[in-house]
Amino acid sequence: MRAVGGPDVAVGDVLLSVENVSLSFGGVKAVSDVSFDIRKGEIRAIIGPNGAGKTSMLNVINGFYQPQKGRITFKGQTRAKMRPHDAAYGGIARTFQNVALFRGMTALDNIMAGRTLKMHANFFWQLLRYGPALREEVEHREHVEEIIDFLKIQEIRRVPVGRLPYGLQKRVELGRALAMEPELLLLDEPMAGMNLEEKEDMSRFVLDVNDHYGTTIALIEHDMGVVMDLSDRVVVLDHGNKIADGTPDEVKRNQAVIDAYLGVAH
């Protein structure tokens, strides 16, 4: 398959960098003056206590929120404003904290939806489902079947997503993001609400995605065990500020991080 990188392919150049980004909603400062970068092929975790601005950060990267200050550079291109569809075309895919799938559609159709951006046949052919549109659909279906095989969800191919248990929905959502063949995959709490076994499965898939497709991954996660095991580097936010950045071990020993999580006596 299209294995690009992998752990043996050393973590490389900067893929995305965030410089002095600030975001506020009215008087509430969600993110203030945060800078960090994500390198090609790494698994980058963003952690922090509740309300630290993690999801806001992800939404900024994704172009869903427009920061008031700061710059984002993705693949060497700096943009003041990034719109979600620009991000998607540029190769950024994401999953959501609360699963955002088409509940009435089957798992297969949901993942096929992730290929939309890659469909080129015009509306007319698609309407007829004939000629180039059909050829294209077959191609995309092959790709989607590989993802289904990869995530081991063959048995739910034809099941409407709304009927699936939560853990599987999360997996389908990951599948849809993968269908975009992203360069950068943003995962917003991929393991929230899962039991231990589901977490282990999901961790395995995250590692496999990174290894097999060479996808760069940025994830938000609360489970410290998962974060420490999976990620190459961790950035820690608290009240919208970056308080630490480094390898899991460095971050674990950082006094500011310990204080943020455990609280300090005033």
Partner 1 sequence: MAPNAVAGADTFPKLLVRNAQLYGDRPAVRHKDLGIWQTWTWREALEIVRAYAVGLHNLGVKRGETIAIVGGNRPRLYWSVTAAQMLGAIPVPVYADAVADELAFVVAHADVRFAAVEDQEQVDKIQSVLGRVPKLEMMVYDEKRGLRDYDHSKLRAMEDVIADGRKALADPKVAAWLDKEIETGKGSDPSIILYTSGTTGTSKGVVLTCEGSIKAASDTVAFDKLTETDVALAYLPLAWVGDHYLNYAQGMVSGFCMACPESPDTAMADLREIGPSFYFAPPRTLELLLTRMMIRMEDAGVIKRRMFHYFIDVARRYGERILNGEQVPLSGRLLYALGNVFVYGPLKNVLGFSCVRIAYTAGEAVGPDLFSFYRSIGLNLKQLYGQTEAFLYLTAQPDGEIYSDTVGAVCPNVDVRISEDGEVQFKSPGMFSGYFKDDAKTAEVMTPDGYVKTGDAGFFDEKTGHLKIIDRTKDVGKLTDGTMFPPKYIENKLKFYPNIREAVAIGDKRDFVTVMLNIDLTAVGSWAERNNVVYASYQELAGHPLVYDMLEKHVAEVNRSLAADKVMAGAQIARFLILHKELDPDDGEITRTLKVRRGFIADRYSPLIKALYDGSSEADISTEVTFEDGRKGTISARVKIRDMKIEPTPTMGKAA
Residue numbers at the binding site for partner 1 (CB under 8 A): 3, 6-8, 141-142, 145-146, 148-150, 152, 154-155, 157-158, 208, 211-212
User: Buried (b) or exposed (e) across 49-78, using 16+ Cβ within 10 A?
Assistant: beebbbbbbbbbbbbebebeebebebeeee
178's enclosing H/E stretch is helix 166-179
Q: Shortest approach of partner 1 to residue 144 CB, angstroms?
A: 9
Q: Which of 119, 159, 158 is nearest to 135 (CA)?
A: 119
Q: Shortest approach of partner 1 to residue 72 CB, angstroms?
A: 33
User: What backbone torsions phi and psi does residue 238 show, to the nearest 5 degrees?
Assistant: -150, 130
Q: Shortest approach of partner 1 to residue 34 CB, angstroms?
A: 34
Decide: 34 and 20 in contact? Cβ < 8 Å. yes
Cβ nearer to partner 1, comparing 142 with 197: 142
Helix, strand, coil percentages in the chain from 3-state DSSP, rounded to 5: 40, 25, 35
CA 218, 224, 225: angle at the middle one, nearest 5?
A: 105
Q: Shortest approach of partner 1 to residue 200 CB, angstroms?
A: 12
Cβ nearer to partner 1, comparing 91 with 114: 114
C-alpha–C-alpha distance, residues 229 and 251, integer Å = 13
Q: Shortest approach of partner 1 to residue 5 CB, angstroms?
A: 12
Cβ nearer to partner 1, comparing 111 with 235: 111
Q: Which of 76, 59, 77 is nearest to 21 (CA)?
A: 59
Cβ nearer to partner 1, comparing 44 with 143: 143
DSSP state, residue 16:
E
Q: Shortest approach of partner 1 to residue 189 CB, angstroms?
A: 24
Cβ nearer to partner 1, comparing 81 with 158: 158
Q: Shortest approach of partner 1 to residue 155 CB, angstroms?
A: 4
Cβ nearer to partner 1, comparing 4 with 224: 4
Cβ nearer to partner 1, comparing 64 with 150: 150
Token digits of residue 165: 């248990």
C-alpha–C-alpha distance, residues 149 and 165, integer Å = 19
CA-based Rg of the chain, rounded to a whole angstrom?
19
